[in-house]
Structure 1
Amino acid sequence: MGIGALGDLGSLLGGLGGLRTGSGKTVQARQGYRTDVQIVDGDAAFDTAAEVFALIGAVGTYWRVWEMTIPAQQFVHWGYGSPATPMNQGYMFFYAASAAAFDVGVVRLLQENARRTRTVPVAELADVGLHGLVAAIADPSLINKNDMVALPEKVEYPLVGEDSRIAIDYRPDVLVVETQAAFKIPITVYQ
């Protein structure tokens, strides 16, 4: 390792919390904040539970049940936190149910460009692990992290930018006559 490499390492370490440019000025690293998206955060055609479960169609086919357009000057990743710190990463729940039983299917988290010419699946999860066991209770969502599915920040995918979308497709394998639906899925927002 040459002296130049050590100097570069010193520059990087000296600029912790930011990036040091060639001129020696520190540029603040982008910091995201953690939040969750729910049905009400969706675009106009996807922002009520009735709209979400009305969009679920025939068994065996993926149906777009929710999407959110990213606002101006924001970028988003699905999930938050890191698997290295399990209690600080995002956890999710999702369900569509009748008064007595759950739909059974697969939830697909997507990101999509503004022109809808490129859709990237980010995660696919069986929904049986994303909700409680009894649909008849008032709120079958999970609240214990030990029972929930973790969704750390999906940094391996590009940030979703302004006017692009994050979306949820759902493929039912067993359908019920839905009367309720809900989800809470973590995201990281950069601005």
Structure 2
Amino acid sequence: MISEYFLQTSKQLEELHRQALTEKSLPQKEKDLSFYQGLFSFLNDHLPGHFSLATGKVRNKRHLLNRNCDALIYHKWCKKFLEMSGGYVLADHLYAFLSIESDITAQNLVTHVNLTQAMKSLYKGEENEKEFEVIPLYSLLFTYSSKLSLPEIRKLMQDYDDEKEIPMNKEIDLITVLGTGLIIKDWEAG
């Protein structure tokens, strides 16, 4: 029953994406997030009441990540949260962040790997963390399609992580290729 619901929903998201491609064509240099409105509606409909969805920038007490994030899921403790925080999502209230792509490429995978490392560092702030300590901030890369297979995506990500010596706790947690499958970080295997 639940699997049928999500299968049907993924088909609806794919159709909304196809319609957006037909009407607008792919966004150019600056990402037009209205292009992905179907996904935002889906996320808003399924988030628990104490979470909220935003796009924008994240900051902690001392630093600002000067890069817009496609989607931020954060603990919203009042209606004026973003107004009170100067329009930024505060890192210690952040639960997850998403990059949203029409098609996954090596370049946007690398971009999200780098964003993940920066966001998880910002979340931890000045704390000294151990490499194997899980950082409770979830990094998600959502893509509507891929010319690369899931094993190819996983290999690209692992090779880049190894090359840049990215600590295990600052790696991507989940990659979704709509209609194809998931790559989930296996914390037990590293």
TM-score with structure 2 setting the length:
0.25
Asked which structure has the greater RCO (Cα within 8 Å, sep 6+), the reply is 1
TM-score with structure 1 setting the length:
0.25
Task: Identify the structure with the greater strand proportion.
Answer: 1
Task: Identify the structure with the greater helix proportion.
Answer: 2
